[in-house]
Amino acid sequence: MNSLNTALALDHPACIAIEQAHISTLPTSGRTTRVLASPQQLRQQLPLSAELSRRVQQQREQVRAIINGEDSRLLVVIGPCSIHNVDEAVEYAQRLAELSSRVSEHMLLAMRVYIEKPRTTVGWKGLLYDPHLDGSADMAQGLQLSRQLMLRMLELNLPVATELLQPLAASYFDDLLSWAAIGARTSESQIHREMVSGLQLPVGFKNGTDGSVGIALDAMRSAAHAHQHFGLDAQGRAALVETSGNADTHLVLRGGHQGPNYDAQSIAAACASMRKVGLDASLMVDCSHANSGKNPQLQPQVLQSVLAQRAAGERSLRAVMLESNLMDGQQALCDNLQYGISITDGCLGWATTEQMLLGAVQQLQK
C-alpha cells in the first residue's frame, strides 16, 4: 500500500515518537483497546510555540470578524477533500500560502486540513485513523502526523480549518484551529453541540443532508449556551466538562437530497429562518457536495453565483468552501496511487484553483 512520507516528522524539531501502551482485550465486549497518548502528552511532545499561538489568535480574530460581518473580505476555506499524503499536503500549502499573499486584500484563505472523513457505511476514515492506508489503524502515528501537519501549516502563516468528527479527538488539535465545521450528519448531535460550546474559535454548522436548515440553527443556538457534559480532561481521564458557550457560529449551506441551496431564493429563505430565531444571518456556501452535484468542475459555477449575489448587495454571504488539490479528479485507494489526486471526493486541480481565485479577486474589487 502507499508508503507514508516521513519527511514532515523528520524535519519537525519537536518530533518525539508517541509510544503505544499495552493492548488489552475485553472478552465480554468484543473490543480490543490500545492506549494512546493523552491530549496533554501530544501537546507537550509537539508544542505550539508562543509565536504560533499569537498567530492562531490573530487568525481566529480575522475569521471571527469576517463571519460577524465586521470585515468585508470573503473567507475561503479551501484544500483537499482529505489529507492522505503529507508531502502532497505541504506542497499544496506552500502554493496556497504564496497565493494568499496576492489575494489578502479581498480574501482570507484558510487551508482545509481534513484528517477525519465521515463514512456512510465503511471506508478509509482519514489520516488520523489509518495513516498507512492499509487498514492497520495506527492511530498513534495518525495523531502525531496530523498535529505535525497542522503546525507546518501555521508556520506557513495559513489558518487551519478542519471538520471535527470525533469529539474525543478534538482536544488533540483545537489549539491549532482557526475555523472548524460540524458536518451535515453530526449537526444534530448533542455531543457535538456541547463540544462546540467549549471551543474558542468560529464554527460552521452544515445544513442536514435533506437540505433543511432547522437542525443547524438549533445547533447554533445550543452551542451558544453554557453546558455541563461528560468528556475527557487533558490527561485523558473521564471528567465533567463545563463550557461557557460559543457565540461565533454560522450556517454552512451544502445542498441536500433535493439539490443545491446556494441560489438567491435559498439564500433569502435561510436568512429569514435565521433572523426568525434571533440569529445573525451569516452564511458560508459549500461549493462542493450537493451544491455541485459532487462534480468538482462545477464548483467555480457555484462560486460565481456567490460573487454575483454579493455584488448585488447580499451581505450575509461571508464565506465559501472549495475542494481543491494539486491535480484534478479522484482516484480509488490502491497500491499505486498517483501523486496529488484525492482518494475521497473529486477535487479541482491547482491550475484551475489559482485561476478561479484570481478571477474572483477581480470581481470582488468592483
Q: What's the pTM? A: 0.93
Cβ neighbours of residue 346 closer than 8 Å, sequence gap 6 or more: 81, 294, 295, 296, 323, 328, 329, 330
Map out the domains of the chain as residue ranges: 7-365
Secondary structure (H, E, C), the chain? CCCCCCHHHHHCCCCCCCCCCCEEEECCCCEEEECCCCHHHHHHHCCCCHHHHHHHHHHHHHHHHHHCCCCCCEEEEEECCCCCCHHHHHHHHHHHHHHHHHHCCCEEEEEECCCCCCCCCCCCCCCCCCCCCCCCCCHHHHHHHHHHHHHHHHHCCCCEEEECCCHHHHCCCCCCCCEEEECCCCCCCHHHHHHHHCCCCCEEEECCCCCCCHHHHHHHHHHCCCEEEEEECCCCCEEEEEECCCCCEEEEECCECCECCCCHHHHHHHHHHHHHCCCCCCEEEECCHHHHCCCHHHHHHHHHHHHHHHHCCCCCEEEEEEEECCCCEECCCCCCCCCCCECCCCEECHHHHHHHHHHHHHHHHC
CATH of domain 7-365: 3.20.20.70
DSSP letter for 122, please: S
What's the angle, vertex CA 310, arms to CA 306 and CA 316, rounded to 5? 90
pLDDT, position 27: 60
Q: How far apart are CA 324 and CA 357, in angstroms?
A: 11
Beta bridge partners of 324: 348
pLDDT, position 31: 83
Per-residue tens of pLDDT for the chain, all 366 residues:
444 554 564 454 444 444 444 566 556 678 888 999 999 999 999 999 999 999 999 999 999 999 999 999 999 999 999 999 999 999 999 999 999 999 999 999 999 999 999 887 889 999 999 999 999 999 999 999 999 999 999 999 999 999 999 999 999 999 999 999 999 999 999 999 999 999 999 999 999 999 999 999 999 999 999 999 999 999 999 999 999 999 999 999 999 999 999 999 999 999 999 999 999 999 999 999 999 999 999 999 999 999 999 999 999 999 999 999 999 999 999 999 999 999 999 999 999 999 999 999 999 997
**For residue 168, what is the enclosing H or E element?**
helix 167-170
Where helices occur in 181-243 by DSSP H, the ranges are 190-197, 214-223
pLDDT, position 22: 56
Q: Tell me the three cell numbers of residue 230.
A: 461528560
What is the sign, positive or negative, of the torsion defined by CA atoms of 74, 225, 255, 259?
A: negative
Q: Strand, helix or coil at 151?
A: helix
Cell numbers 524539531 correspond to 13
Q: Which of 95, 155, 146, 128 minimizes the C-alpha distance to 349?
A: 95
Q: How far apart are CA 162 and CA 165, in angstroms?
A: 9
CA separation (Å) from 157 to 44, 151, 277? 22, 10, 37
